[in-house]
Chain A
Amino acid sequence: MAEATLFLILALLPGLALAQAPKADLECRSTGTDFVYDCTIRVTRGGKPLEGARITVGADMPSMPMAHNIKPVKAQPAQAPGEYRARLDLEMLGVWAVKLRLAGPVRDQLILHYEFDSKGASPAHR
């Protein structure tokens, strides 16, 4: 009940600034096993690295929606601030929409398109 009222109140307030939206990019390398990649995720917010984020990484293939079933993995913090590591086990090569779910300190969701080949991943422009 409280949730609903809060939602209604918040619903009528104007939106917050976009400048607070986090940004991310990916760097992936094949581990040698088919379709398994070690990825480094760099997250920034307002130009500064975002530390202490709890990130869950998932993926779907845009050209075959609902067709794949990738188990979401939790990313671990890496050495550098704003950097995180995750191992992705994909089912096919090709363009994937990688979904980053941030649970803290900000709650957000980012979707990045990358082309995965036998060596690693590169940003996909369509």
Chain B
Amino acid sequence: MDDYAIGVLTNVGLISFLALSAYLLLIAGEMSFGQQAFFGVGAYAGGMLTAMYGWPLPLAALCAMALGALAQFLVGLPTLRLRGLYFAMATLAAAEMARILFELFHFQRQLEGEPVGPDGTQGFRGIRWVFEHGVEPLGYLGIVYALLALALAAFLLVERSRLGATLRGVGEDPELAASLGVDVNRVKLGVAAAAGALAALGGVLYAHHNTYIEPRNFDIMLGVHSLAYALIGGLGTALGPLVGVALDIGALEGSRVFHGYRMIVFGGLVALLLIWRPRGLLDERAVLWLKRRFS
């Protein structure tokens, strides 16, 4: 497999974390335009720990995930009673604030005579842990997908359990769930923390894959894209968001047929797809049909 294909596949994996985090929130009834901020938090935190302080990547990743969870929890707390578009706009505002803060963030250390670290709008270059430790592209791809598989396994387990039913219940009808004794706020905050951790994991892996990050990478486009992937792929299962990502980045970027017209084609396909299937390809009905077919 050539380097370019490996790169495309790795990108699919990385963005899948982001799409999964948007999906998790959608299931619990919240539409978030702001997951890109936690992706960014993970990227900056993880990158700083490895590039500036020599931390090993696994440890930095864990720390980044914790920070992402905390950040999304802190955004979720004041917005608990917001619904629908109000919640979405609040997350958008929070994410844009985060992006601007990244633009204003200058924090560098002198290492071997060179400044290393985030430099505001100039970005954060030199996140070279992967190269310094001789990890090959194929190896990194394996790591990304191994972690993604773990996340998926967790999702699939939860979806079959009572927790999964509770989540979907809160998403469909919070009042009903509350009347059944569910602590809706606790569920929402838990979901927020999990989604933040997931997005941050994607972010730290992205930073180390790209070796360079800048605030512009974490703008609204990324956020709305990840929401779109979750919706297009389908809200019936955690595999849905992955399908969405694979469709856009994988199929269309991988194939050079649509060079220069990719977004026009993809945009049109998405709009048409949503007319046919408003809840995505792998929506609840499709998943039910598949389960019956194969059991």
Contact = CB atoms under 8 A, between A and B. Distances in A.
Interface string B244-258: 000001000100101
B122 A111 contact: no
Contact of B133 (A13, A21, A111): A13
Given A18-B112, A65-B219, A66-B221, A107 B142 contact: no
Given A71-B259, A111-B210, A3 B139 contact: yes
B216 A65 contact: yes
Contacts of B128: 18, 21, 108-109
Contacts of B221: 64-67
Interface stretch (A4-12, A24-32, A79-87): A4-12
A25 B70 CA distance: 40
A67 B252 CA distance: 12
Nearest to A91: B260
Interface in B231-282: 249, 253, 256, 258-260, 262-263
A101 interface: yes
Interface string A62-84: 11111101011000000000000
A19 B221 CA distance: 36
B222 interface: yes
A22 to B, nearest CB: 10
Interface stretch (B24-32, B51-59, B197-205): B51-59
A116 to B, nearest CB: 17
A18 B3 contact: no
Interface of chain A, main secondary structure: loop
Contacts of A110: 211
Interface residues of A, number: 36
A44 interface: no
Interface in B104-125: 111-112, 114, 116, 121-122, 125
A56 B56 contact: no
A19 B219 contact: no
Contacts of A103: 3
Contacts of B135: 7, 10
B8 to A, nearest CB: 10
Given A21-B126, A71-B259, A107 B134 contact: yes
B116 A11 contact: no
A95 to B, nearest CB: 10
A11 B259 contact: no
A71 B56 CA distance: 33
B58 A18 contact: no
A105 interface: no
Contacts of B142: 3-4
A61 B50 CA distance: 26
Nearest to B53: A15
Interface string B123-163: 00110110111111001001100100000000000000000
A101 B263 contact: no
Interface of B: 3-4, 50, 54, 56-58, 111-112, 114, 116, 121-122, 125-126, 128-129, 131-136, 139, 142-143, 146, 210-212, 214, 216-217, 219, 221-222, 225, 249, 253, 256, 258-260, 262-263
Given A4-B143, A107-B134, 7 more contacts: A8-B58, A11-B133, A13-B133, A15-B129, A18-B114, A66-B222, A69-B253
5 closest A-B pairs by beta carbon, nearest first, are A111-B212, A10-B133, A18-B112, A11-B56, A16-B132
Interface of A: 3-4, 7-8, 10-19, 21, 56, 62-67, 69, 71-72, 91, 97, 101, 103, 106-111, 126
